[in-house]
Amino acid sequence: MWLARALGRASDGIDRAVVFFLAVLIGSLGLAVILTVFFRFVIHLPLAWSEDISRALMVWISFLGSSAALKRGLHISLDLVRDNLPPGARKAVSIFCSILILIFLAITLWLGVKSSIRQWGQTATYFEIPITFIYGSAPLGMAIMVLHVLSDISGKLFVMDGGEKKANPPDPLTEGIA
């Protein structure tokens, strides 16, 4: 139970940092696009670095944004079958699906780390930084999503109420939010 609580706190804390970082990245991307348009069409002097920075920001926004969406349950899902199951079966199906997601994320994390290491010698077109710093957002995003899924699974298994596990926790879908 302490593990579920610790995972929940870690997941929440990292999510807050990710959302803040996403706000900075999205603002930076907006600024880069505005500068690109201004310099290309008003001054007629295109910026050489604008494509590299925009692409890098978009990659980071995609993977970190995906982790924030996963934390909030905003990814697409098929709820029709699950919602028509009794509460016990619904919980079992939900945990099973979370385990499948965890397996997918772990494999993708492993492949992302391998790919990032393999690309260490390559540099970005304009900036002389390793491309790993750009594409390293994929394994980082996957690692954060693994934490969120582990937190979700532990929360489903160990529903906290004064530090004790409840046998049958109330289901907010059928009983309303307390």
Domain count, the chain: 1
Query: Counting Cβ atoms within 10 Å, is residue 106 exposed (0-12), middle (13-18) or buried (19+)?
Result: middle
- Per DSSP (E only), the strands in the chain are 160-161, 164-165
Q: Which domain holds residue 155?
A: 2-175
Reported as a single tens digit per residue, the pLDDT across 130-164 is 888 888 999 999 999 999 999 999 998 886 444 43
For the entire predicted model, the pTM comes to 0.83
Write the pLDDT tens digit of every residue in 36-92. Answer: 999 999 999 998 888 889 989 999 999 999 999 999 988 887 778 888 889 889 889
